[in-house]
Structure 1
């Protein structure tokens, strides 16, 4: 079959790559077209344009690029029509992918459309599911409580597991090698600083995270800070952190990132999927997030849950402390970090919540990419 896939950011690129691998395994005649990044391209996808053009988030961030994004939406929809695929698969990034799907459906109402990663209607804007059902037939959900929400809106939906639950994690040997390579004492706490994968996130959260970590180091002088980053923002991160008094160890390579996670004792992270990566590695964490002022106000009006941290949601606990919007300030972040590092009951509660989360996300089961591929093929070849 011919598959047209659209991913708009680093996490979607990874999901797309795993899905492509599963599709190639189950469908030897599979061919791919669309928009993707460095994970999807080596598997046979020639991206229409650089995927990182789509890695923007929030009303304030999108407005300056609106006309350009609108042109990319039209270009992508035209490419779908010309490619005449058997299925269109939009991966995360619904603001872009679903606009493309709407244009395509107007010309190809018969084309099967699948969306990978259900929108977070449990958190805000529940009407999005019904709106999505106008252009999407089937949803691949990565959180176990999402299928009923999608089905209620009129779409079929399969929980296919979350990739982080079955991903390999490095063990103590790699942790020791990482510490040795960077001159970190065996008993020095390693703290990960994870301010996000988008330029706007890094610019907004980076200085606050740095200040929080400086305050933590005033009380725990032996800590070493490690900042894993991604190619799209690595240059910006390196330029920014040269001015940080905390002087973090900046790493970019995926193998070294896994080793850093194995070595870490604590993390300060932006809200998002990274909290699940930390949970898979059993790293206690503090979550912080903020947006541009306009976006913050709008999201604040629409938010329907008291937590956005996925570990809290999946485990049905509130074990992971989070500081959102105006609460995302260095003082509270620093105090929560010290408690997560030095308070055994709090660490234990987080670790238990993490283990429960990984079990519920599919740990020990079939690879999510393969499950997703099987769901795609069934949705396309099964009864309409």
Structure 2
């Protein structure tokens, strides 16, 4: 057995970069072997001594226009990265997230050298749309590490590669665990001066659609709940844009910036108004009653939404297989509707109690005995070449 493992890894998004870093750290801890990392990743993998082949921001694409503009460059990157990986002869290739890029690299690596094991970490949303992708993955992926419990059966049903549920990183994420603990320590369950957390998303196109409606929603809600306080956590890169949009609001929220401030807001929140996305799962696992909203652009409405095969866009609802979190789309994203639902979930009553009970069900369904990194390593070890 060699004293050093050579692992090729490609993580094109920040979330994937963190997952990859957790996996590498767990692999080193489990095997006791030094790891030579090659491939593409961000600061978390770089901290684990990866020398990234290029900046992952180059493949962090947002929409069809970005893809078309960068297509020649992307094709070039796919060829260069796959050729580099094959030349380096790693013990395995791990691809994380960003399927539009990572799958093409994996496919070419498989063509050039079929002996390299290829592991996919985080399954594409084949359960929501384009289900035929699952079966196509069998040609170039040996195993899939899934982070949602229902995805193992989905992969089997759609004839995809073998899959293992390794748990979601949030289940052992220290800020989330700390937030849950703080919420449990609150002195009582009586809401005297309610706090609403507002999360309009992280993409410019998303926040520009939702912020005007959210502003009117808060105006209507404060007329019914005059003691309401509003906190709006955001990221540094979109803070300026958000503040411009907030200038149009009649009720001004407290804007807080950064991850630490977000979790602090979560620890105090009595309810949340949020864009539909991964944050909905964070809110559910923290036990924060939530109302979700989503407004699609014309392209998504015309070409993507008609092909969606799932009944809900909210991860908490999909995991529980029941409508725990109310969600509203497009023309139904109206201030009067959102304000009415938020009032029901802020004030003590059946709606709030039912959602909190639903969140407990979700936590039980997702529960694992070990951190996701450890479970991922256990699934990967049989595929290492030596």
TM-score using structure 1 length: 0.86
Equivalence for 2:124 = 119
CA distance in 1, matches of 2:383, 2:207: 38
- Candidates 165, 168, 173, aligned match of 1:159: 165
Decide whether aligned partners of structure 1 residues 25 and 306 sit closer, same or farther in structure 2, where only a CA change above 3 A counts.
same
- Candidates 198, 220, 223, aligned match of 1:218: 223
- Candidates 50, 59, 64, aligned match of 1:59: 64
The answer to whether residue 172 in structure 2 is matched with residue 170 in structure 1 is no
Equivalence for 1:179 = none
The number of aligned residues is 373
Q: CA deviation at 1:311?
A: 0.9
Decide whether aligned partners of structure 1 residues 251 and 14 sit closer, same or farther in structure 2, where only a CA change above 3 A counts.
farther
Equivalence for 2:316 = 311
- Candidates 353, 372, 376, aligned match of 2:376: 372
Q: CA deviation at 1:238?
A: 4.9
Query: In angstroms, what is the RMSD of aligned CA positions?
Result: 2.8
Tell me, yes or no, if the aligned pair for 1:190 and 1:225 is still in contact at 8 Å: yes
Decide whether aligned partners of structure 1 residues 222 and 36 sit closer, same or farther in structure 2, where only a CA change above 3 A counts.
farther
Equivalence for 2:43 = 38
Tell me, yes or no, if the aligned pair for 2:123 and 2:144 is still in contact at 8 Å: yes
Q: CA deviation at 1:242?
A: 5.3
The answer to whether residue 269 in structure 2 is matched with residue 264 in structure 1 is yes
Decide whether aligned partners of structure 1 residues 171 and 196 sit closer, same or farther in structure 2, where only a CA change above 3 A counts.
closer
Deviating 4+ runs (over 6 angstroms) = none
Tell me, yes or no, if the aligned pair for 1:58 and 1:295 is still in contact at 8 Å: no
Mapping of residues 215-254 of structure 1, within 5 Å: 215-230=220-235, 233-234=238-239, 236-238=241-243, 240-241=245-246, 244-254=249-259
Equivalence for 2:21 = 17
Secondary structure of 2:353 counterpart: helix
**1:43-64 deviation digits (Å, cap 9, x = unpaired):** 2223333333433344356444
CA distance in 1, matches of 2:249, 2:86: 49
Q: CA deviation at 1:356?
A: 0.9
Unaligned stretches of 5+ residues in structure 2:
185-190
Larger Rg: 2
Secondary structure of 1:305 counterpart: coil
**1:226-283 deviation digits (Å, cap 9, x = unpaired):** 2223455455445554555443333333333222211111112222221111111100
The answer to whether residue 274 in structure 2 is matched with residue 274 in structure 1 is no
Mapping of residues 319-338 of structure 1, within 5 Å: 319-338=324-343
Tell me, yes or no, if the aligned pair for 1:3 and 1:32 is still in contact at 8 Å: yes
Unaligned stretches of 5+ residues in structure 1:
177-185
